[in-house]
Structure 1
Amino acid sequence: MEVKIVNLSPKSFVGYKQEMSLSENTTPKLFQQLMQLRSKVEQNASFIYDIKIYPSSYFQNFSPTTNFIKWVALENTPQLGSCKLDGITLSGGLYAKFNNPYGFGNPKVYQDIFQKWLPSSDYQLDQRPHFDVFVPQKDPSQIAEDIFIPIKPK
């Protein structure tokens, strides 16, 4: 699995958010709402962002029933300013960027990141939002997915 270390600038987003857990995952409902909005925007946004804000102990005491905040969002643009959406700004910083080689929605990529790559790397997890970037396609099996994990040197 290929990884790129990137230093990102702050970025603002608008979209929908909900508290959820992996065992009570409502992501499809959020994506459906966002896709309806996206279709109404004159120039469809190219990228969809799946942003996750985890509690500080989420990965130390992992349980699929632990809640976190999930956002599905578009980059904020003047076109979206008139829509009644929640907003979030990511502060930027150092991220490990992975392309999901297993295909959209396959959780094996996260096992590889957190059980293989991260422990053997020169980095540790940082307490900032995680996010995935999707480029929607007509054929859902062709969706490109980049995964961004917040990191800092060990």
Structure 2
Amino acid sequence: MNPTIKTFSTTKFIGKTLSFTYADYRAFELWSSFMPRLKEIKNTIGSELYNIQINPENFDFQPNTPFTKWAAVAVSTFENIPVGMESLEIQEGLYAVFNYKGDQSNVAAFFNSIYTEWLPSSNYELGNHPQFEVLGEKYKNNDPNSEEEIWIPIKLRN
């Protein structure tokens, strides 16, 4: 695991949101409700999709601890938000960016390695800003050749 350390610029998003737990993981439901309506968002920047996770403070990664997931796209302004969608602004922050290749069968183990191996042995600790995956042109849902970027919020250890 050799992430790139990057600063993510303040970015506006429009999308759909749903709260759930790892034990009751409902990301498919969220994305299934978002994708048919994607073209309703008129002021998009780029073609990437963002799978954003907002964890509560002191998130413990336990199966029944709720968090909020977003299916979203970056936008230039918050004008004309489609009915049933919401806006989110992620402030500038420091991230460890990991490239993940493969289908979804190994993604949980990949995240586990980030949090239990890479993070404890790095000069960083988990930051309080949202984590997200960037689903770009190389992303192919549940395909072994799929590629995505995983952005983990970090801050220097004290």
Q: Fold-level match, TM-score > 0.5?
A: yes
Alpha-carbon distance in 2 for matches of 1:153, 1:135: 28
Distance 1:153 1:86, change over 3 A: same
1:46 aligns with 2:47: yes
Distance 1:42 1:7, change over 3 A: closer
- Which residue in the other structure is 2:88 paired with? 88
Alpha-carbon distance in 1 for matches of 2:43, 2:86: 20
SS in structure 2 at match of 1:88: strand
Q: Normalising by the residue count of structure 1, what TM-score does the alignment of the two structures yield?
A: 0.86
1:2 Cα deviation from its structure 2 partner: 2.7
Confirm or deny: 8 A CA contact 2:139 2:148 kept in the other structure.
no
1:135 Cα deviation from its structure 2 partner: 2.0
Kindly, what percent of the aligned residue pairs are identical? Answer: 28
Write the letter of the residue equivalent to 1:153: L
Answer with 88-97 or 128-137: which moved more: 128-137
Confirm or deny: 8 A CA contact 2:50 2:134 kept in the other structure.
yes
Q: Normalising by the residue count of structure 2, what TM-score does the alignment of the two structures yield?
A: 0.84
Write the letter of the residue equivalent to 1:63: Q
- Which residue in the other structure is 2:98 paired with? 98
How many residue pairs end up in the alignment? 152
SS in structure 1 at match of 2:23: coil
Answer with 81-90 or 131-140: which moved more: 131-140
Write the letter of the residue equivalent to 1:146: E
1:77 Cα deviation from its structure 2 partner: 4.2
- Which residue in the other structure is 1:56 paired with? 57
Alpha-carbon distance in 2 for matches of 1:127, 1:42: 30
1:55 Cα deviation from its structure 2 partner: 1.3
Unaligned 5+ segments in structure 2 are none
Alpha-carbon distance in 1 for matches of 2:7, 2:36: 32
1:146 aligns with 2:149: yes
Confirm or deny: 8 A CA contact 2:43 2:76 kept in the other structure.
no
1:144 Cα deviation from its structure 2 partner: 2.1
Unaligned 5+ segments in structure 1 are none
